[in-house]
Chain A
């Protein structure tokens, strides 16, 4: 046999191919049966671990390639999401700015509705002092809108900002109460003692102004609130100026002086009112310190149930000290405390 194969290799090869073809033909003819033959079973069983291993490796390669594919997709998705995130952030920031503006405008509208006797013109601050030596702001309305020199500038909470100093056709310059040229007839809210609040060049940088021309007998102490006295014919009585932070006695001139911290945060001012008409008195409930208010609340709690209503009212009273602390953090929707400057009608 061996010799035959060696002597006639081509014939042997053809014969082998024919045998294999016949075997394949036989197996193909038997393909309709239900169970595998012994040979098939043996071959399948022996090859099973190899197949499993191969499939495993193939699967690993397959998942590896699919991972690369999905990595590209993820990168693209990530890029799109980042872009969307940036856009959403921008929208949130824009909305936040709009909410704040909306809140300010609502307060302004509220004041206009509550105080029909006041002729108010809402203006926007467009620039601040170009020089470090003064404290001024520029607003976007002027002579064309009826703005005149010396008109008071107030906030929606009836806090004094300053007065009109110069007027152009469609702009006006305001000097704030911190400016050295500013002088406001003032009154200590608690005692009713009268003085003049002036700007001071050195105190300006601390954000304070000076309450001077107080007699030595003046009843004034730290924490007192200062408001306009109405004297001088420019500012109406009752506009809140600030809070006393320090009182000094001058032994030479026999007077008292106080440092006053303005209620208004000049850095964050955007919209203000110009008071177009002169009003003698803006009535306002007296400002109450938070500790006093707490005491009152305690008394109310101890009192009858009827007093609870009064207690609720006292929560709405003018508590500027608390407002100072919470003003920046206060969200527009937390508008419940904004009525502190409410007027007695």
Chain B
């Protein structure tokens, strides 16, 4: 049941990320559904499952984007674990904490991705990576994370899944 739950969401995100998300982009910035989901899962299910799902969904995202495969996987693994720790501290269903965590995770993801690109290609400036991409995406991800938390919880309830830690 657990696997089915993640497979369904993985398919949904793989389809929606390059299509629906692009149609709701603001200033050429679209939210990252994969990152939002990893934050939600880390909050609901805990740090271990958050880290595992972060690594798997990160790899899926890398394969979807097709560049620097493994960077998002590593980044989301770390962020999933970190968000899980925050989730343990604030597991009282406060969506604002979830949104803020998604925002911070996006900034950290941006920094990790920037470092990787800087090492590999050196084709982007920090100001563009952080202020033009990560900051705006972070705000957008915060909002989307709150919206995404509801269907995630509903599907978990329907499929009889609960918090593991």
Contacts and interface: CB of A to CB of B under 8 A. Distances in A.
Contact of B17 (A126, A130, A134): A130
A136 B22 CA distance: 12
Interface string A150-188: 000000000000000110000001000000100000000
B124 A205 contact: no
Nearest to B25: A132
B155 interface: no
B121 to A, nearest CB: 7
A133 B113 contact: yes
Contacts, number: 58
B66 A173 contact: yes
A26 to B, nearest CB: 92
B67 interface: yes
Given A133-B113, A180-B123, A202 B67 contact: no
B124 A180 contact: yes
Interface in B75-113: 113
A129 B67 CA distance: 12
B94 to A, nearest CB: 28
Interface in B13-34: 17-19, 21-22, 27-30, 32
B124 A130 contact: no
Contact of A201 (B17, B67, B128): B128
A205 B27 CA distance: 8
A180 B22 contact: no
B19 A127 contact: yes
Contact of B137 (A132, A165, A180): A132
Contacts of A204: 28
A285 to B, nearest CB: 33
Interface in A53-103: none
Given A129-B22, A205-B27, A180 B65 contact: no
Interface string B3-17: 000000000000001
Contacts of A127: 18-19, 22
Contacts of A134: 65, 67
Interface string B106-141: 000000010001000101110111001100010000
- Which of B22, B32, B125 lies at the interface centre, i.e. has the most chain A CB atoms within 10 A of its CB? B22
B66 A180 contact: no
Nearest to A131: B65
A130 B137 contact: no
B128 A132 contact: no
A133 B22 contact: no
Given A131-B65, A132-B137, A205-B132, A138 B124 contact: no
Contacts of A131: 32, 61, 65, 67
Given A127-B18, A127-B22, A202-B132, A132 B30 contact: yes
Report the 5 A-B pairs with minimum CB-CB distance, sorted nearest first: A127-B18, A201-B124, A130-B18, A202-B128, A128-B22
Given A131-B32, A131-B67, 10 more contacts: A127-B22, A132-B28, A132-B133, A133-B65, A136-B66, A166-B66, A180-B124, A201-B125, A201-B129, A202-B124
